[in-house]
Amino acid sequence: MTAIRPTVALAYHSGYGHTAVIAEAVARGAAAAGAEVVSIAVDTITDEQWAQLDAADAIVFGSPTYMGTASGAFHVFAEATSKRWFTDAWKDKVAAGFTNSASKSGDKASTLGYFQTLAAQHGMNWVNLGLKPGWNATTASENDLNRLGFFNGAAASSPSDAGAEAVHKADIATAEHLGERVARHTAIVLAGRAALAG
């Protein structure tokens, strides 16, 4: 049987480089699980990159949390996806999301919830993080996977007074996990479709 190699696209924004580190980790995880990965910075998206999103099997949305939601640049991109909405161009693709902000909570749940709504509007199928919460018991550590305890996507907390090199290793590992999970789930979806078509 030929190995199924899904294409996982990342559509993300990063104002100051922290969220870009998380995006790289999601990409690394997806590639390690056998996906072909396309990373697209949505604030400079080209026509060719829109076509790459249209062709992808999965799209992972990513943004810093600014003022309790995705960044303005991400929202500009999200509004532009309405062109795809009219034609159901992204219907039944796999979707997932990640965000990063300074505070441990920082209202990141709002950003991940927004990504889920965007995916649902397009008729995409959301993949959650699939990890139990870490760092929530006396025996737990801030180095645990999913140390911030999110379920619907990968979340990171980066100090507001440090550069991208300060992005927490546990958050990077959590993002790699999300990338792997999205790639594996997308391969299952593609295999299922092929089996049903055959």
Ligand X SMILES: Cc1cc2nc3c(=O)[nH]c(=O)nc-3n(C[C@H](O)[C@H](O)[C@H](O)COP(=O)(O)O)c2cc1C
Binding region for ligand X (CB under 6 A): 14-19, 64-68, 100-103, 106-107, 158, 160
Nearer to ligand X, 13 or 122 (CB): 13
Q: CA-CA distances (angstroms) from residue 76 to 51, 58, 81, 145?
A: 18, 20, 9, 32
Type of residue numbered 105 = S
CA pair distance 118, 148, nearest whole angstrom = 23
Nearer to ligand X, 17 or 192 (CB): 17
> How far apart are CB 148 and ligand X at their closest, in Å?
11
Nearer to ligand X, 33 or 60 (CB): 60
Q: Are strands 58-66 and 69-70 parallel, antiparallel or unpaired?
A: antiparallel
Contact between residue 129 and residue 106 where contact means Cβ atoms under 8 Å apart: no
> How far apart are CB 16 and ligand X at their closest, in Å?
3
**Chain residue at closest Cβ approach to ligand X:** 106
> How far apart are CB 155 and ligand X at their closest, in Å?
10
> How far apart are CB 79 and ligand X at their closest, in Å?
18
Contact between residue 98 and residue 60 where contact means Cβ atoms under 8 Å apart: yes
| Beta strand spans in the chain (E) | 7-12, 36-41, 58-66, 69-70, 94-101, 125-126, 154-157
Nearer to ligand X, 146 or 158 (CB): 158
CA pair distance 89, 79, nearest whole angstrom = 15
Nearer to ligand X, 100 or 186 (CB): 100
> How far apart are CB 45 and ligand X at their closest, in Å?
16
